[in-house]
Structure 1
Amino acid sequence: MTRLFCALAALFAVAIGCSAAMAQGESRFTGLKLSGDQPIQIESDKLEVRDADGLAIFTGNVNVMQGETLLKSTRMKVFYAKSGDGNEQAAPGDSMQSIERIEVDGKVYVKTQTQVATSDQAAFDMATDTLTMSGKEVVLSDGPNVIVGCKLTVLMSTGEATLDGCGKKEGSGRVKMLLQPSSRSQ
């Protein structure tokens, strides 16, 4: 499985597993069942590659699709790590292993078969295996069950997740959750 696939899959993991895991009181994300053999299709109005900066920028109606999973946003930036000698950036086509982080912004929307996650921005840091979704509201829904906060941080290696409320200071405020008892049997 390539690092690009892992990074995009991490963004998808929020929509696939987060609301179900939180609703069941689990600490791990259990719904990520994507297969490395499924192609990832990326479409955008424009692609800008800055080799010297080690950066690829997809802008305008960005759609990332894999199987039944869809990520939409206004912009997606893919940052490439420096090559082994530390002087040159790895070019985007060189190796998927060279991806350092992915940043997505502009009304981020992730949808799977039954789950949806929305935020203003999302980022995946490859070195720390950390996914962060943030904004005015981060909304995770699975059918009628909804969780709302302002900053979701997920350590993908352990599945440990923290959802901060929407107070004036980061980490203050309240997280809101609506669970429908009838949905537990589904």
Structure 2
Amino acid sequence: MAKSPIFMSVAWLVLAAGLCFPASGALAQATESKMSGLALSNDEPIQIESDELKIDEETGKATFTGNVKVVQGEMTLQAGEMIVNYDKNGGSVSSGAADIREIELYEKVLIVSGTQTATADAGNFNMANEVLVLTGDKVVLTDADNVFIGCKLTVQMKDGQAKLDSCGGRVMIQLDPKSRPKQ
């Protein structure tokens, strides 16, 4: 993996808010959809704020704790804690460049972009596989008045393929017919 600024890697996670939710569906145990709104923005700056930042070059971890807020363009990510795991042999995170392996999110995750919102208890972004997973007792995705509820959302960032699991219960989808595009 090529070296990239640590904050650009966080952009992958933030851009998950660009999800295009399915236009139809019914109650099911899992819902799969193509989420074509996923893309990496290389041209917008990323701002990260938290109450505390600990960088451990020896273990290859940067831990942001307390009211973590990541902003890029119109997209915002909030969590109680964000851990960025990087290859300690691939560069220094304190210099602004590192090979990011994984980003972990804890303590109520919120991703907002325009009319779209995702909430979960935790999240994980595996950089090598380019897979985003949001989990919790209730993972809620909204797009305007459309609501999708499950317990695990898995997004393949390479192709935008996404799956919302119920984890033993049922996936719930509420669609507003007025939200369909006008033809």
TM-score range, shorter chain: 0.7 to 0.9
Unaligned runs of 5+ in 1: 85-89, 166-170
- Residues 7, 29 of structure 1: alpha-carbon distance in 2 compared, 3 angstrom cutoff: farther
Once the two structures are TM-superposed, the CA of residue 7 in structure 1 deviates from its matched residue by 3.9
Tell me the residue number matched to 1:128: 129
Once the two structures are TM-superposed, the CA of residue 93 in structure 1 deviates from its matched residue by 3.3
Segments of 4+ in structure 1 off by > 6 A? none
Tell me the residue number matched to 2:21: 21
Please say if residues 103 and 124 of structure 1, whose CA atoms lie closer than 8 Å, have aligned partners that are also in contact.
Answer: yes
For 1:15-47, what per-residue CA distance to the aligned partner results, in whole angstroms no more than 9, with x for missing partners? 221xx3323578432223553111000000100
Q: How far, CA to CA, are the matches of 2:138 and 2:88 in structure 1?
A: 34
For normalisation by structure 1, the TM-score amounts to 0.84
CA RMSD of superposed structures (Å): 2.3
Higher relative contact order structure (alpha carbons within 8 Å, sequence separation ≥ 6):
2
- Residues 55, 146 of structure 1: alpha-carbon distance in 2 compared, 3 angstrom cutoff: same
Q: How far, CA to CA, are the matches of 1:33 and 1:157 in structure 2?
A: 9
Tell me the residue number matched to 2:180: 184
For 1:76-102, what per-residue CA distance to the aligned partner results, in whole angstroms no more than 9, with x for missing partners? 000011426xxxxx4213564511100
Please say if residues 33 and 163 of structure 2, whose CA atoms lie closer than 8 Å, have aligned partners that are also in contact.
Answer: no
- Residues 2, 123 of structure 1: alpha-carbon distance in 2 compared, 3 angstrom cutoff: same
The alignment status of 1:60 with 2:66, answered yes or no, reads: yes
Letter in 2 for 1:156: M
Identity of aligned residues (%): 44
Letter in 2 for 1:32: L
User: 1:1-186 counterparts in 2 under 5 A?
Assistant: 2=4, 4=6, 7-17=9-19, 20-23=20-23, 27-32=33-38, 35-83=41-89, 90-94=91-95, 96-165=97-166, 171-185=167-181
Unaligned runs of 5+ in 2: 26-31
- Residues 6, 152 of structure 1: alpha-carbon distance in 2 compared, 3 angstrom cutoff: farther
